[in-house]
Structure 1
Amino acid sequence: MASTVSFNQMVRYIYGTRYITYSAYCLLIYDHLLTFADELNLVWQSRSMNLVKALFIFNRYAVPVMLAVDVALLSGGLPSTALRPMCKGWIIFDTIVELAALGSTTCITNMRVRNLWADRQDVDRFLSLVWVLQFLASVAIMVNYLVKNAGSFSYEPNFNICFGTVHQAWWAWVPAMVFYVVLFIAMIMKALSTPRNEHTPFLSVLLRDGFVYVVVVFSSMLFNLLSWALAPAGLVQMPHYSSWAIATIAITRFLLDLQKRYYIELAPPEDDATDEFPMSEPKWSVWKATSQITPTLNDPFYAYYVAPFPMTDMRRRNSTQQALLRDLRNDGPPHDSV
């Protein structure tokens, strides 16, 4: 990465970073609003809490708040008297939170892929070990980076922003990227080793949910890595915020889609459908229950679309089921069938 740039180049880089960051943040908030009704129906229908739900809430709400502060700091509109003393502390805190967010997304993805291999304890243990190793490696690299470069985190008076070097920080993305490659290979192996039949929604479950998510997140990390390793110093913040927003959108969509699929795949025949409500209109009343649903336990992919969020009320589960079926009949199926 180039160590020095001219003032005119720095102006272009800073303004380019601002525009891309603003766009990414607007996209994050827009997607949050689009999926808020689904969140109410699919996540908050139960007061119970599990690890996936806790990590989902963390990414869903902590990340937008952190990025809102980052956008404000990057805008150059804050008073210099307030900005100057907080730059170093905020950059360190922001880095720690982003590391936690990265660890939570890899943890969620690892749990979903491990469910695919529930019948193979050796594979399950291997994937767990790989996740622990990659997270520890990411923490070690980031701690080393903060110790060596914390002195460069300072106030930039020309642009009224916080700034710092990312020398050798691109290594922090390598462990997670290697981990996603391992998950990708694990999904391919499971897909190739499982025969297709009426109980294996091959494209919808593996390709659409798993592969697409991994590719999106891996690509955003690769963008960060290449930018920090090769781009000029003035562009160090450009991939940081946009990639974080994209990864948050991806994990949110991934989990909400899994929860929807749980209802759809295990839904009763259309003739039994009652009490249908559109997902855009969350219902908090006591709904009339339909017939209970028995999971297709002979489906080798059942563990993959088992609801990631806890549910304690059968009536609410069945009502949400009918809402999704209503959406499918109005808008068409969300995926191709094989």
Structure 2
Amino acid sequence: MSLSPQFMEGLWLRKSFSTAGHTLLVYDYLLTFRDEFVYIWDAPWTVVKVLFLLNRYGNLIGQTVIQLEEAGLLVHNSQKFCQHFVIFTTWFMFVSTESIHILVLMRAWAIWGTRKRATKILGWSYVGYILMLLAGSAHNLNARNMQFPFLDVIHVCVTTMPEYVWLVYVGSFILDTVLFVLTMRSLRRYSREFQQLYPSSLLHVLFRDAIIFFIASTFSDALTVASWTAFGHVSILYP
């Protein structure tokens, strides 16, 4: 079966980005393992600690499984495997992303002093985002009728995605923007009114982390949306 150069180029790009991302993930894990052992493992068990460990090791295991599939080691020319794999990757990405969002939500909520108004804003923003996320993922969660062409040739699960899925990333951007604005407003107030209670080094770290997370998240969302809309006329490879 003849495959178009455009299709093969897209497949090569997908595999390249997947390999690069997994390599960076493993590298980051090795770099930060000592800090994790010192600061996390001896700390009391809390919701934050559980979420951190689930995100850290769940990502590592899940991305390794995805990388094995990308290498063609798991498929074995099975349409049924690919259908289950799409459901797995959808749920995996959902849990992975939301474990990060929940941690950031909890940080913003704590910085705002657990105020009722902040709780409502954060809660409704997150509910709206989750509804958009579920709507965008509905196609993948019903993957039993999906067909994966060229499976016997490329040995990788590839299918097309609905064009509207990129709206999920718009929801993520809106949520991250709300979190960023609330966090920065609260930190600015603390830096002005409570300088004697909170050391400047702590405020500096909170400012820095909030800005870095927002920039990284916005860049990721913008790149995804731009790619999806710019190449909407091309069959989108998934997962």
Q: State whether TM-score is above 0.5.
A: yes
TM-score (norm 2): 0.84
Instruction: Tell whether 2:189 aligns with 1:193.
Output: yes
The residue that corresponds to 2:116 in the other structure is: 121
TM-fit CA distance, 1:181: 0.7
Look up the SS of the partner of 2:125 in the other structure.
Answer: helix
Distance of aligned partners of 1:178 and 1:236 in 2 relative to their CA distance in 1, 3 Å threshold? farther
Instruction: Tell whether 2:34 aligns with 1:37.
Output: yes
From 101, 104, 108, the equivalent of 2:96 is 101
Deviations 1:45-93 (A, max 9, x none): 14x4222112111111111211112112112355634x44300111111
TM-score (norm 1): 0.61
Distance of aligned partners of 1:153 and 1:67 in 2 relative to their CA distance in 1, 3 Å threshold? farther
Deviations 1:250-303 (A, max 9, x none): xxxxxxxxxxxxxxxxxxxxxxxxxxxxxxxxxxxxxxxxxxxxxxxxxxxxxx
Q: Is the 8 A contact 1:107 1:131 kept in 2?
A: no
Distance of aligned partners of 1:187 and 1:18 in 2 relative to their CA distance in 1, 3 Å threshold? same
Looking at structure 2, the residues matched to 195 and 224 of structure 1 have their Cα atoms a distance apart, in angstroms, of 35
Look up the SS of the partner of 1:157 in the other structure.
Answer: helix
Look up the SS of the partner of 2:107 in the other structure.
Answer: helix
Instruction: Tell whether 2:194 aligns with 1:208.
Output: no
Instruction: Tell whether 2:110 aligns with 1:80.
Output: no
Q: Is the 8 A contact 1:228 1:236 kept in 2?
A: no
TM-fit CA distance, 1:149: 6.4
TM-fit CA distance, 1:153: 4.6
Q: Is the 8 A contact 1:43 1:53 kept in 2?
A: yes
Q: Is the 8 A contact 1:166 1:236 kept in 2?
A: yes
TM-fit CA distance, 1:36: 0.7
Looking at structure 2, the residues matched to 174 and 42 of structure 1 have their Cα atoms a distance apart, in angstroms, of 34
Instruction: Tell whether 2:9 aligns with 1:12.
Output: yes
TM-fit CA distance, 1:148: 6.9
Looking at structure 1, the residues matched to 237 and 230 of structure 2 have their Cα atoms a distance apart, in angstroms, of 10
From 56, 59, 78, the equivalent of 2:55 is 59
Deviations 1:31-50 (A, max 9, x none): 1011111111111114x422
Which structure dedicates a bigger proportion of its chain to helix?
A: 2
Residue correspondence of structure 1 range 297-316 to structure 2 within 5 A: none
Unaligned runs of 5+ in 1: 1-5, 241-338
Look up the SS of the partner of 2:216 in the other structure.
Answer: helix
Could you tell me which amino acid in structure 2 is paired with residue 146 of structure 1?
Answer: N
* Paired positions, count: 230
From 19, 22, 30, the equivalent of 1:22 is 19
Q: Is the 8 A contact 2:159 2:236 kept in 1?
A: no
Deviations 1:284-326 (A, max 9, x none): xxxxxxxxxxxxxxxxxxxxxxxxxxxxxxxxxxxxxxxxxxx
Q: Is the 8 A contact 1:153 1:162 kept in 2?
A: no
Q: Is the 8 A contact 1:149 1:165 kept in 2?
A: no
Unaligned runs of 5+ in 2: none
Could you tell me which amino acid in structure 2 is paired with residue 132 of structure 1?
Answer: V
Q: Is the 8 A contact 2:25 2:60 kept in 1?
A: yes
Distance of aligned partners of 1:35 and 1:153 in 2 relative to their CA distance in 1, 3 Å threshold? farther
Identity %: 22
Looking at structure 2, the residues matched to 223 and 192 of structure 1 have their Cα atoms a distance apart, in angstroms, of 30
